[in-house]
Amino acid sequence: MKSYKYKLFPTEEQKDKLELSLDVCRRTYNNLLSELSNGFSKYELSNYLLDLKVCNPEMRNVYSKVLQVENDKLFSNLSGLSASKKKGNKVGRLRFKGKGWKKTFTYNQSGFKVLKKNKKNNLLYLSKIGDIKMILHRKLEGRIKQIIIKKEVDNWYAIVQTDAIIKLECGKKEIGIDMSPSKFGIRSDGIKMEMPKEIDNTLEKLKICHRKVSKKKKGSKNRMKARKLLQKKYWRLKNQKVNFYHQTSSILVKDCKIIGIEDLDLKELMMKDYSAINFQKCGWATFINKYLIYKAESAGCQIWACDRFEPTSKKCSSCGKINKNLKLSDRIYECSCGLSIDRDLNASVNIKKTCRQGTCLCGVDTSLVEIPKVSVMKQEKISNCS
């Protein structure tokens, strides 16, 4: 499954129809959730949509399959809660969606069509809404399965999901990566992975926007304007991070065959460490789980998580001696064997050496696959037959 995200340019009339579809889907989800307590099955609730259309004529302005998807999402959320409960997590109940909470609705299997003209002038036909201008900045590959319409601040996007299977190519290097709160990370070959300075500038602007919102009177139009500006800053910050994650993960997969990373308990680090804001800014878990792993799987690249209790920072990468007196403020690692090296670089080299003793997150370790041995008698028999 491959997803493509394209920006939409709807007219004012089409924006009203899109907003109506969002609100109708939200109210449909809430109605189905309220009837769920009466013990109705998924099939019975899908039939209940017909009764809702009689009571709510606005539902006829929304494509029927879009409303059926809301029923599927409801039971998908229920199965997710039960799976989380089996793992031992504390779970509550499904909540009703308030006004403005819902940001997406889905056209599944039918009710849509991409009308291609040229790169800058394409149309997306959506049933009950019409032809919406769309720019296809990337070529669509495969057959379209469904389209998710998403609202981000004041912008509308179409996420087109196809059945295309795209294979990436991996490199030949074997590296280890040490995650650092001061800089995003450093590779064992000496290359530093630093987050762009634009992210720090956006974070500073976020502080100013938060102060402006807090100074405005609640319920006033000025407060609504300040909140809108704050939303745009958060949206810009998210886009900057996503762009950095995509670029960094693509470079790693293209360069490397085996990647060793740290298995960090990020929640505990953020609770105890004074630099929790730096841990949150980097977003290592998001980078690894949502961007790096799926690209590595597509390219056949292996990702290994080093053992959590391995002293990678305190161990000398040259002689293996452990320096128990090493402090966090010591940025240069100096050993009695004569090694003087950057602390993070030393840790990344140790991760490269010991990562295969940990957990394999994706890929198959070909070095550990047993090769079937042919006995001497069988080899003689084969040679005689030939």
Q: What is the mean pLDDT of residues 356-385?
A: 51
Burial of 45 (0-12, 13-18, 19+ CB in 10 A): buried
Q: What is the mean pLDDT of residues 276-296?
A: 88
Taking the C-alpha atoms of residue 287 and residue 174, their distance in angstroms, rounded to an integer, is 19
Torsion of CA 195, 200, 203, 209, to 10 degrees: -140
Task: Provide the 8-state DSSP code for 59.
Answer: G
Taking the C-alpha atoms of residue 122 and residue 131, their distance in angstroms, rounded to an integer, is 9
- Count helices and strands (H / E) in the chain: 11, 15
User: Helix H segments across the chain?
Assistant: 12-36, 42-55, 64-86, 197-215, 221-255, 266-272, 276-282, 284-286, 293-299, 343-354, 376-385
Name the pairing type of β-strands 302-305 and 256-261.
parallel
Q: Which of 341, 337, 327, 338 is nearest to 188 (CA)?
A: 341
Contact 31, 51 (CB under 8 A): no
For tokens 């999901």, name the residue: 161
pLDDT for 147 beyond 90: yes
The pair of structure tokens assigned to 252 is 């790693």
29 — pLDDT class (breaks 50, 70, 90): very high
pLDDT for 34 beyond 70: yes
pTM of the model: 0.83
Specify the pLDDT at position 312: 87
Taking the C-alpha atoms of residue 8 and residue 157, their distance in angstroms, rounded to an integer, is 5
The pair of structure tokens assigned to 66 is 């879009």
pLDDT by residue (tens digit) across 51-109? 899 989 999 999 999 999 999 999 999 999 999 999 888 888 899 999 989 999 999 98
Radius of gyration over every alpha carbon of the chain, rounded to an integer in angstroms? 27
Taking the C-alpha atoms of residue 166 and residue 1, their distance in angstroms, rounded to an integer, is 9
Specify the pLDDT at position 39: 81
Specify the pLDDT at position 69: 94
Specify the pLDDT at position 371: 33
Specify the pLDDT at position 382: 37
pLDDT for 321 beyond 70: yes
The set of residues, in sequence order, having a beta carbon less than 8 Å from that of 301 and lying 6+ positions away, is 170, 253, 256, 257, 258, 259, 295, 362, 363
Specify the pLDDT at position 323: 86
pLDDT for 195 beyond 70: yes
pLDDT for 381 beyond 80: no
pLDDT for 346 beyond 50: yes
pLDDT by residue (tens digit) across 199-251? 999 999 999 999 999 999 999 999 999 999 999 999 999 999 999 999 999 99
Contact 266, 287 (CB under 8 A): no
Which one has a higher pLDDT value, 279 or 343? Answer: 343
Find the helix or strand (DSSP H, E) in which 81 lies: helix 64-86
Q: Where are the domains of the chain?
A: 2-162, 173-367
Specify the pLDDT at position 311: 86
119 — pLDDT class (breaks 50, 70, 90): low
Specify the pLDDT at position 365: 54
Contact 4, 146 (CB under 8 A): no
- SS3 state at 180: coil
pLDDT for 294 beyond 50: yes
Taking the C-alpha atoms of residue 149 and residue 87, their distance in angstroms, rounded to an integer, is 32
Length of the chain (residues): 386
DSSP labels, 309-325: T--TTTB-TTT--B-TT
- Mean pLDDT highest for which of 7-21, 31-45, 324-338? 7-21
Specify the pLDDT at position 377: 35
Specify the pLDDT at position 295: 92
384 — pLDDT class (breaks 50, 70, 90): very low
Taking the C-alpha atoms of residue 76 and residue 84, their distance in angstroms, rounded to an integer, is 12
Which one has a higher pLDDT value, 41 or 213? Answer: 213
Specify the pLDDT at position 327: 84
Contact 30, 22 (CB under 8 A): no
pLDDT by residue (tens digit) across 160-171? 999 988 888 888
Q: Which of 305, 303, 308, 299 is nearest to 259 (CA)?
A: 303
* Lowest-pLDDT choice from 211-220, 323-332, 373-382: 373-382
Specify the pLDDT at position 354: 87
Q: What is the mean pLDDT of the chain?
A: 87
Taking the C-alpha atoms of residue 46 and residue 24, their distance in angstroms, rounded to an integer, is 16
